[in-house]
């Protein structure tokens, strides 16, 4: 059973300008292993975190570092959830999280489905 769905898009150039203008933003939004990635990948991961928050119903108090996007050896992205994000997912009865990322034409996008 699907318990949540979220989607988000990010204009890559605008995202890059925000990161350059406010350097601490990178550390606020991303874990150390995410923060070293190419800006296009960061934009997609930001979209993923936003899409996950939407799928969770956008509860207050979610920590950015509590949802980390990991790339499996196959290249498939997945979430590593902990703390506030894991608690919110558990509260919805989510047992599986499906994540799709894309970036093309200056836009990064992410789609999340929570399954219970």
> In Å, how far from its chain's centre is CA 103?
14
Query: Looking at residue 52, what is its pLDDT?
Result: 98
CATH of the domain at 66: 3.90.470.20
- Helices 39-55, 12-21: inter-axial angle, 10-degree rounding: 100
68 pLDDT above the threshold of 90: yes
Region 11-38 average pLDDT: 95
Q: Is the entire prediction scored with pTM above 0.75?
A: yes
The domain in which residue 90 lies consists of 2-115
CB burial class (10 A; 0-12, 13-18, 19+) of residue 86? middle
Query: Looking at residue 23, what is its pLDDT?
Result: 86
What's the domain count of the chain?
1
Region 86-100 average pLDDT: 97
29 pLDDT above the threshold of 90: yes
pLDDT, the chain, mean: 96
């Amino acid at each position: 059973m699907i318990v949540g769905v979220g989607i988000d898009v990010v204009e890559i150039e605008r995202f890059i300008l925000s990161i350059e203008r406010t350097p601490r933003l990178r550390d606020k939004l991303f874990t150390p292993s995410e923060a070293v990635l190419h800006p296009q990948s960061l934009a997609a991961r930001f979209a993923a975190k936003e899409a996950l928050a939407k799928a969770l119903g956008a509860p207050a108090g979610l920590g950015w570092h509590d949802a980390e996007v990991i790339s499996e050896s196959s290249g498939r992205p997945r979430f590593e959830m902990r703390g506030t994000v894991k608690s919110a997912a558990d509260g919805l009865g989510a047992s599986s999280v499906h994540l799709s990322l894309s970036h093309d034409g200056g836009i990064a996008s992410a789609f999340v489905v929570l399954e219970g």
